[in-house]
């Protein structure tokens, strides 16, 4: 009989639940249940099944949602339960199961963080929907209902006792809701790469925070066409030195796969290798700062092939089963100076962080 100590336990957890498929904004909407179906189906195939520990989410409570949202807004979303269709903004609607899914999305992030903060798991991916980073405290926006990652940062502070939380947002679109949640807060550092100018219109490089939070919002606005080497340069030249100096207790990632080269809503050129490399950088940063504690949380991504393969590439990195060959790693480790915006961001933030 094999001893328990000899068993290889998964260090990577995955949050998944059929309840997330119950949020349906109608035919033709890009943020559809199929986004998760293709990922879940891939994780159930023989070559992947059993590699990751699946965690069942819980539902976030109203008192927890109040950390980041107003009571009136929470009540407004709650009243949509059981209604076939209710439009929240021009891009965002609910169905009968959306209230439940939205509470499970937040609660799934909490459940994942509990596991990662425990003795067994080290990292994970919350494969949840609806996404969250556009949601403001009092309104839905851009396919998002509750701000899953912002609430995760509050959970890290309020429940897990973390002092500093680093949020990295690589979604195509700027996370306006997340930025606004912590704009005057020095305990949460928000680092965003995004296509600009583009929806939602926020995320200029000179938006750096206010008051105590000055310098703790780092925006890297990018023109269309940025690819693997550009993101590698940004992560290596900006994110790594800033992240190491900040020294977070927990890292949360708003992982949007709409920067994929064939995404219908985007203009970026990132490949599956690019997602794997970005994940590798962040995993190494987590190892050096916070005992490997990092949670990737699903945001956008509307090319189903790129979304599915990109998520699996990130999960492979989490489990030290990389899709990257040595030549690709060498190329991305030495990507050159990168896009010109890096110099602009350095000039803006040089008084706050040791970057050059």
Q: What is the 3-state secondary structure (H, E, C) of 268-298?
A: CEECHHHHHHHHHHHHHHHHHHCCCCEEEEE
- At residue 118, the pLDDT reads 95
pTM above 0.95, yes or no: yes
Domain total of the chain:
1
**In this structure, is residue 185 part of a structural domain?**
yes
- At residue 9, the pLDDT reads 60
Q: Are 298 and 131 in contact (CB under 8 A)?
A: yes
**In this structure, is residue 271 part of a structural domain?**
yes
**In this structure, is residue 356 part of a structural domain?**
no
Two structure tokens written together for 217: 């919002």
- At residue 138, the pLDDT reads 98
CATH number of 297's domain: 3.40.800.20
User: CB-based contacts of 321: which residues, under 8 Å, 6+ apart?
Assistant: none
**In this structure, is residue 355 part of a structural domain?**
no
Which one-letter DSSP state was computed for residue 302?
A: -
Using CA atoms in the order 232, 234, 238, 244, what is the torsion angle rounded to 10 degrees? -30
**In this structure, is residue 48 part of a structural domain?**
yes
User: CB-based contacts of 151: which residues, under 8 Å, 6+ apart?
Assistant: 60, 64, 65, 67, 68, 106, 109, 110, 132
Which residue, 254, 348, 271, is CA-closest to 306?
271
Two structure tokens written together for 244: 């190491």
Average pLDDT of adjacent 10-residue blocks, the chain of 356 residues: 45 97 97 98 97 97 98 98 98 98 98 96 97 98 98 98 98 98 98 98 98 98 98 98 98 98 98 98 98 98 98 97 95 96 98 93
**In this structure, is residue 324 part of a structural domain?**
yes
- At residue 3, the pLDDT reads 37
**In this structure, is residue 354 part of a structural domain?**
no
Q: Which domain holds residue 154?
A: 4-349
Q: Are 302 and 229 in contact (CB under 8 A)?
A: no
**In this structure, is residue 322 part of a structural domain?**
yes
Two structure tokens written together for 221: 């606005």
Active site residues: 134
How far, in Å, CA of 120 to CA of 5, rounded?
12
């Amino acid at each position: 009989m094999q001893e328990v100590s000899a068993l290889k336990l998964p260090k990577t957890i995955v949050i998944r639940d059929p309840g997330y498929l119950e949020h349906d904004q109608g035919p033709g909407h890009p943020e559809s249940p199929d986004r998760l179906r293709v990922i879940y189906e891939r994780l159930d195939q023989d070559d992947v099944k059993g590699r990751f520990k699946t965690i069942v989410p819980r539902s976030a409570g109203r008192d927890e949602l109040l950390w980041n949202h107003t009571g009136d807004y929470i009540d407004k979303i709650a009243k949509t339960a059981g209604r076939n269709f209710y439009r929240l903004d021009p891009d965002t609607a609910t169905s009968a199961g959306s209230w439940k899914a939205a509470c499970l999305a937040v609660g799934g992030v909490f459940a994942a963080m509990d596991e990662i903060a425990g003795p067994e798991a080290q990292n994970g991916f919350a494969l949840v929907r609806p996404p969250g980073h556009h949601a403001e405290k009092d309104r839905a926006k851009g396919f998002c209902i509750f701000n899953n990652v912002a609430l995760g940062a509050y959970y890290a502070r309020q429940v897990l006792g973390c002092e500093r939380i680093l949020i990295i947002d690589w979604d195509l679109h700027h996370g306006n809701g997340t930025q606004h949640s912590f704009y005057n807060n020095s305990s949460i550092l928000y680092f965003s790469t995004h296509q600009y100018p583009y929806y939602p219109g926020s995320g200029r490089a000179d938006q750096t925070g206010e008051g105590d939070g000055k310098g703790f919002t780092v925006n890297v606005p990018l023109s269309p066409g940025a690819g693997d080497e550009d993101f590698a340069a940004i992560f290596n030249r900006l994110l790594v030195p800033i992240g190491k100096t900040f020294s977070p207790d927990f890292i949360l990632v708003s992982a949007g796969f709409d920067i994929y080269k064939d995404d219908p809503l985007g203009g970026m050129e990132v490949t599956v290798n690019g997602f794997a490399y970005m994940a590798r950088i962040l995993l190494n940063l987590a190892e050096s700062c916070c005992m490997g504690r990092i949670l990737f949380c699903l945001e956008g991504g509307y090319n189903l092939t790129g979304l599915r393969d990109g998520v699996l590439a990130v999960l492979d990195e989490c489990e030290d089963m990389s899709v990257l060959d040595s030549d690709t790693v060498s190329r991305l480790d030495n990507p050159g100076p990168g896009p010109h915006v890096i110099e602009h961001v350095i000039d803006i933030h040089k008084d706050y962080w040791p970057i050059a």
